[in-house]
Amino acid sequence: MMKNNVKAIFLFFLILTIAFMPFADQEKALFVTASDELTEADLEASATLHEKLNVILGDERLDGTVTGVSVRKADTGEAVFSQMGDTRLHPASNMKLLTSAAALETLGEDYQFTTEVLTDGKVKGKVLQGDLYLKGKGDPTLMKEDLDQLALGLKDQGISKVKGNLIGDDRWYDDIRLSMDLNWNDEPFYTGAQVSALTLSPDDDYDSGTVIVEVMPNNKQGKKAEKAKVKLTPETDYVDIINKTEMVPENEKKDISIEREHGTNNIVIEGKMPHKGASSKSWVAVWEPTEYALDVFKKSLEENGVQLIGDAKVKTGKTAKDATLITAKKSMPLKDLLIPFMKLSNNGHGETLTKEMGKVVNDKGTWDDGLKVINNTLDGLDVNTDTILLRDGSGMSHKTVIPTEELTHMLYAIQEKSWFNTFEKSLPVAGVDDRLIGGTLRDRMKDKETKGNVKAKTGSLTGVSSLSGYVTSKDGEKLIFSIMINNYLGSSVTSIEDKIATVLAKHDFTE
């Protein structure tokens, strides 16, 4: 009891003392003292938004970090809180906010990618006499079923045999597969998949350039039962499975690793799989996705009654100038693509959109040209581009930097755009279980004040965590916020971000 009385007296004199300081000194004093003395109970008792946020920012997990926070009113753009708001920080996947805004402004909500099938030959009877081209124009949502549909497009035109080569054309973009700052140990995984204008996604999460590897118990008898079963989606001969697994009794613990060897398509599977154990599944990035898409298209042709005959070769190359279009497939529009991109934080989409903007604006499907387009677009969205550095479109780079205040400037400015509703709809929504609504926030901030209210993009890299978006306060004031925490060590700091968003949701500006 005595301890609580002392703390209450301390808080009273703290606020009284600070009230007579100049405003700038008040904020500094609150930050220093609150971090050392105030508790969660004090947080609720704090009178102002500044006090509440400074208490949270005094968390010892932030010791040694660089943490930027910017909060402003959505209707006027007025800044209501800033800590190191003008300090350039790594945004992690908050970079996707910039890429999405630039793509909507540059390409438009209804923009679609195209995949084409062409030939430089002629049809004689049921035989296509000439080469067949599969030309990719960047579609990151292309799936096996789409290749089946393209194969049926040939069949519907009476073609059942192709006397010529099958050629994959990915020259819509350049041949640089990985962004300049991608860590080498990210490269085998879906988060660091290679980017090609001709690529393939294994399911409707649309992780382009990947194959799903599923490891399951093997219930066969004899030597064939000594190793676990492996299934690929889609089925392809392009990758080589090196199965080093061991089937063990059902009471033993499962321990399975799935990893592709760097620079190859050897996927090594090791470990123990118990009988009746749960399957293990991994999305593995392939090496050179163009040839992967080409291999699966060849299977689609065969499965749908179109055969390659003669000395046909399957290879990559350039579509002949005199080639004519046989059939084509358009992707979903950009407004729909933004859902898996933003909700699930799909890195491949960020890089593909970057190259596509470069191709559409400058006729160069490169990272350099795409990043120039993003930078120039942001210049017109109230971002001071002199104080930012962009290195990729997904946020995987540890060299991309932007201040939180510039991000909230952009989030304020884009509210007047015709495409803003599409942008806002793409943001993860706190506490909503549906992964295509809640996205990466579906398991966070489930309290009544924040569930369905906080709409924001998450971000995470080693030592980096971020959260930026929109929230409505208790009295109906819509707020824009950006939080970037850099150089943290140890345990997760997402709960700190959640506390800040929760305070904003609970705050009443009329009191």
Q: What is the pLDDT of residue 221?
A: 66
**Confidence bin at 406 (pLDDT 50/70/90):** very high
Mean pLDDT score of the chain: 91
CA atoms within 13 A on the CB side of 236: 28
pLDDT higher than threshold 50 for residue 145:
yes
State pLDDT tens for residues 267-290. Answer: 999 999 999 899 999 999 999 999
The pair of three-digit structure tokens given for residue 290, joined into one six-digit string: 């163009």
Q: Can you give the pLDDT at residue 46?
A: 59
End-to-end C-alpha distance for the chain, whole angstroms: 29
pLDDT digits (tens, 9 = 90+) for 450-486: 999 999 999 999 999 999 999 999 999 999 999 999 9
Q: Distances from the Cα of 428 to the Cαs of 105, 406, 440, in angstroms?
A: 20, 21, 6
Q: What are the tens digits of pLDDT across the range 333-391? A: 999 999 999 999 999 999 999 999 999 999 999 999 999 999 999 999 999 999 999 99
- Lowest-confidence region among 57-71, 210-224, 334-348, 363-377: 210-224
pLDDT band at 39 (very low <50, low <70, confident <90, very high): low
**Which residue has 């549909």 as its token pair?**
149
When pLDDT is cut at 50, 70 and 90, the band that residue 30 belongs to is very low
**pLDDT tens digits, one per residue of 11-29:** 444 444 444 443 333 333 3
Locate 381 and state its tokens: 């969205």
Q: Out of 39-53, 176-190, 382-396, 404-418, which region has the weakest mean confidence (pLDDT)?
A: 39-53
Question: Is the distance from CB of 351 to CB of 374 less than 8 angstroms?
Answer: no
Rounded to two decimals, the pTM is 0.90
Whether 402 and 353 have beta carbons less than 8 Å apart is answered as no
Look-up: residue for tokens 């699966």? 296
CA distance 511 to 509: 6
Largest CA distance in the chain: 98
Q: CA angle 108-113-116, nearest 5°?
A: 150
| pLDDT (0 to 100) of residue 51 | 93
Calculate what percentage of the chain has a pLDDT beyond 70: 90
Q: How far is CA 446 from CA 333, 342, 345, 453, 478, in A?
A: 31, 20, 20, 10, 19
Identify the burial level of 405 via C-beta atoms within 10 angstroms of its C-beta, where 0-12 means exposed, 13-18 middle and 19 or more buried. Answer: buried
pLDDT at 434: 97
Mean pLDDT throughout 189-193?
94
Tell me which residues are annotated as active site.
93, 96, 345
What are the φ/ψ torsions at residue 222 (nearest 5 degrees)? Answer: 80, -160
DSSP β-bridge partners for residue 468: 457, 482
3-state secondary structure of 58: coil
Asked whether the predicted pLDDT for residue 99 surpasses 80, the reply is yes
Task: Quickly count: other Cβ atoms within 10 Å of residue 165's Cβ.
Answer: 17
Q: Three-state SS string across 230-280, please?
A: EEEECCCCCCEEEEEEEEECCCCCCEEEEEECCCCCEEEEEEEEECCCCCE
pLDDT band per the 50, 70, 90 thresholds, residue 511: confident
How far lies 1's CA from each of 4, 6, 12, 335, 350, in Å? Answer: 5, 9, 17, 58, 55
Residues 430-457 have pLDDT tens digits of 999 999 999 999 999 999 999 999 999 9
485-503: per-residue pLDDT in tens?
999 999 899 999 999 999 9
Say if residue 220's pLDDT is above 80. no
Q: How far apart are the C-alpha atoms of 40 and 28, rounded to whole Å?
A: 20
Model confidence at 32: pLDDT above 50: no
Percent over 90 (pLDDT), the chain: 87
How far is 511 from 507, CA to CA, in rounded Å?
9
pLDDT attached to residue 5:
45
Burial (Cβ within 10 Å: 0-12, 13-18, ≥19) of residue 482: buried
Q: How far apart are CA 130 and CA 166, in angstroms?
A: 9
Residue 8, pLDDT score:
45
